[in-house]
Every structure is written in structure tokens, then in C-alpha cells.
Amino acid sequence: MVKDRVRMKREARERRHRRIRKKIFGTPDRPRLVVYRGNRNIYAQLVDDVRGICITGASSLSPEVRELKVDGKVAMSFEVGKLLARRALAKGIRKVVFDRGGYKYHGRVKALAEGAREGGLIF
């Protein structure tokens, strides 16, 4: 019973993500900022869909974020967004397309986006 509900939620998120991906495409000039939200950690990557490569990424497991010792998952997500923005700017990327990965633009996903914007990314 519980496994069916968990499976259905996951499949619904994957369906939403596929629907979003029909419209969003990352280029070398403007890569796609992909978010994956786990139960404990959050991950973000910049993806060039033309070449099919990950340009850079950051997560709450990154040493730079872990040594900050931030309390709470939302605050951690904000710091991950700022770290990703710093790494993107170091590679000469300012503009991105935001791919929320089928999640609501709320809570940790929103905090990551706001951190990336504060770090200097435009989307």
C-alpha cells in the first residue's frame, strides 16, 4: 500500500519533469540548471543538452557547503545555489534556463534558485 503511493508520487514527478523538458533545452550559451531534491540532500547541475554534458554542479554534500555548517535544509539549498553560481561564473556562464525537475517551485527548490540568482546567475 505505502510502496504503491511512493511509486505513484515518483512517477507523477517524472511525468511532470518530462513535460517540462519538452519546453526547456540547454545550450552552450545558456545551459539548463537542473535540480534534484532528495530527502536529505539537494543537487544542482548545469547541463549543455547540445553536447550532452554536465558543465558543473554543486550539492549539499560539496565540501564548501558542508564546512559552512548551516542549520536546515532550506538554508543549505540557498548556499548550494550560491556555490553553483560561483562555479558557473568562473566558467563564464551568466545566463541559465531553470529546470525545477518536476518539483514545485517552493521551499528548497525556490531557495536554491534564489541563491543562484543572488550569486549572479540570470534566469
pLDDT tens string 88-113: 999 999 999 999 999 999 999 999 99
CB atoms within 10 A of CB 74: 15
State residue 68 phi and psi, 5-degree precision.
-70, -25
How long is the chain? Answer: 123
How confident is the model at residue 120, as a pLDDT? 96
- Cα separation of 45 and 98, whole Å? 10
pLDDT over 80 at 119, yes or no: yes
- Cα separation of 58 and 69, whole Å? 16
- Cα separation of 80 and 10, whole Å? 24
Q: Return the domain boundaries, the chain.
A: 2-118
How confident is the model at residue 58, as a pLDDT? 97
How confident is the model at residue 97, as a pLDDT? 96
Spatial CB neighbours of 89, under 8 Å, sequence gap ≥ 6: 119, 120, 121
pLDDT tens string 27-82: 889 999 999 999 999 999 999 999 999 999 999 999 999 999 899 999 999 999 99
- The answer to whether domain 2-118 has CATH 3.30.365.10 is no
